[in-house]
Amino acid sequence: MDTNLSQSQIEGVGEAFDMARLLQQRARTNEAVKAIAAAMRPGMLEEQAVALANSLLAGRQMRRGWHKVNLRFGVNTTLHFHTASQPGVVLGENDIFFIDIGPVFENWEGDAGDTFVMGQDAELARCAADARAVFHAARHRWLAGDISGRGLYDFAAAEASRLGWVLNLDMNGHRISDFPHKAIFSGSLAQIDFAPTAGLWVLEIQIRHPTRPFGAFFEDLLLDDSHFQ
């Protein structure tokens, strides 16, 4: 992070910024994640799933993605964003997968990610649920005030460990805005030394099992409880 940037510069927005429109895109993006998840079937190759996700997003008037579709099956759920998936992974009858999309609708960025489970494996289901639990525990700590982005990820790592998981600190949050937010700030939430402002930051949580080859992912905007009811 450029230490010469002030909080107001790091949290700047473009001329077209409108929080109401950003929240509308949040809702549309979350709906798209659910639609993609509903289309997943055991026996599907991960590569086929990514192609299907892109097709579904195009049908929803996605102008482009500000990041690629990151859809991972099974062993690939332990990998961070910039690591290529192991090819040829098939979704099993008892399996775990996550979806991470960053579509642009009109001029507005969306970003959402969640984890889903096929079958009845209790440990896989617990992993998916705990990714959400760590997210909300960290979000509530942020709501309590007086915590930086860096402190928030220290808290999340400790919470993941308490639940028996390892937090992937390479998935460490980022700005969001009217497109493109990277023209304003391209660093991570975990780098900032101030308390992040509501609605301007995405908190990413990726956890993995300490010994078994699976993990889970959840992300959303830092917002108060009224947006999660």
Q: Write out the two tokens for 69.
A: 């579709």
- Global pTM reads 0.95
Q: Give the tens place of pLDDT for each residue, 53-92.
A: 999 998 887 766 667 899 999 999 999 888 999 999 999 9
Q: Give the tens place of pLDDT for each residue, 136-168.
A: 999 999 999 999 999 999 999 999 999 999 999
Note whether residue 206 is domain-resident: yes
Distances (CA, A) of 143 to 125, 134, 138, 146, 196: 27, 14, 9, 9, 10
Token pair 């700590």 is found at: 141
- Taking the alpha carbons of 174, 53, 70, 76 in that order, is the dihedral positive or negative? positive
Note whether residue 197 is domain-resident: yes
| Domain extent at residue 46 | 7-228
Q: What is the CATH number of the domain that holds 205?
A: 3.90.230.10
Note whether residue 1 is domain-resident: no
Q: Give the tens place of pLDDT for each residue, 81-92.
A: 889 999 999 999
Provide the domain count of the chain: 1
